[in-house]
Amino acid sequence: MTTIEPTITPLVVPVSLDDDDAADFRAYGELNRRICDEQVGLPDLAPDAAQMLPDWQDDTDSLDLGFVARVDDEIVGMITVSFAQEAEAHAAELDLLVPEAHWGRGVEDALLARAEAEARARGRSLLQLWSLHRPREADRMLVPRTGWGRIPATPLSDLAEANGFVLEQVERNSEFDLRSDPAPLRTALDDALAVAGADYRVIEWNMPTPPELRGGFAGVLARLSTDAPSGDMDFPEEAWDAERVVRREARLLGAGQAVSVVAVEHVSTGELVAYNELLIAADRTGVTHQFGTLVSKDHRGHRLGTIVKCANLLRWRELMPDSTVVSTFNAEENRPMLNINEAIGFVPVSYAGGWQRAL
């Protein structure tokens, strides 16, 4: 296939998707879904342009930049670069979006080089990216440095390896059928509540989080960056307070999305020590995405993960009866959480590889 030299320009972030300058951002949403469909047959893994726009418009907690590759005015690929804004953040996280029809012509190389230049210019010392993989065996299977999980090689993983990236971690993408019999969920929840006992109580709400819970919710959200398994991927410890909770929820809800939260409070301290979030786009018939799920390290072993997952799934069936499936990602080494998922009916549908490279 002939190598081409695309023209690369910054992705414009519009005020509204109806604005005259919004065409590229709308194309970004469409391309994101196309890539997920081509790579794993799951276009709904990707948020649409309306869901992404509020995040791109607010760079307080994360700065997002994008670059568009064109040949003869045709968009042939894009790359996005995200910069966490914590002072100790070292990495730039990349998302390379080049469709099959244009792969192998030099577009992916040009975009990767442009993103690397941006990361260097902003003083970052690491590049990170994620690759998607179908749940199948192939002639060449890749094992991460954690030793947990394996994924089939793909053109994107080949490109990552060729450019010095190391496969650090594999995550499993699982789905739960919301139309299935809810009885196993209720049984699992009752059993877990009995194990947890009177030391813990369940709290439920729909975003936005009530003001009296924001501080506690900020505390448990912060632990996701430190307590969740991440292999050797370099993620900064995130600083959370009530104001950051408000900012995050404005971004989520501003796109017409809805979020249900189930948390567990440690009764004697009043501390929130576990939580689970379920999110759906403005189209309430679409796929539900499980966002954060965490049990604080000091409170593991009390079945709190089962409590928040099962309680929120049961709650969600009542809140969003037209959504048929929940999608979630978990690190392959996170066996406690995967054990819960498997026990209540989640099944694997795809995998993701976490790659990292020092600059």
What are the tens digits of pLDDT across the range 10-45?
999 999 999 999 999 999 999 999 999 999 999 999
How distant, in Å, are the alpha carbons of 34, 78, 87 from that of 293? 27, 30, 25
Q: Which letter does DSSP use for residue 198 in this model?
A: G
Contact 142, 149 (CB under 8 A): no
Q: Measured between alpha carbons, how far is 90 from 234 in angstroms, rounded to an integer?
A: 7
pLDDT at residue 236, as a whole number: 87
Q: Which of 39, 17, 37, 16 is nearest to 26 (CA)?
A: 17
Contact between residue 351 and residue 171 where contact means Cβ atoms under 8 Å apart: yes
Closest by CA to 357, choosing from 149, 140, 96, is 96
With 90 as the cut, is the pLDDT of residue 97 above it? yes
Percent of all residues in the chain with a pLDDT value above 70, rounded to a whole number: 100
What is the DSSP secondary-structure string of 258-297? EEEEEEEEETTTTEEEEEEEEEE-SSTTS-EEEEEEEE-G
**pLDDT score of 47:** 94
pTM: 0.94
Q: pLDDT tens-digit profile of 36-75?
A: 999 999 999 999 999 999 999 999 999 999 999 999 999 9
Cis peptide upstream of residue 208 (ω within 30 degrees of 0):
yes
Alpha helices (H) in 11-139, listed in sequence order: 23-40, 49-57, 107-121
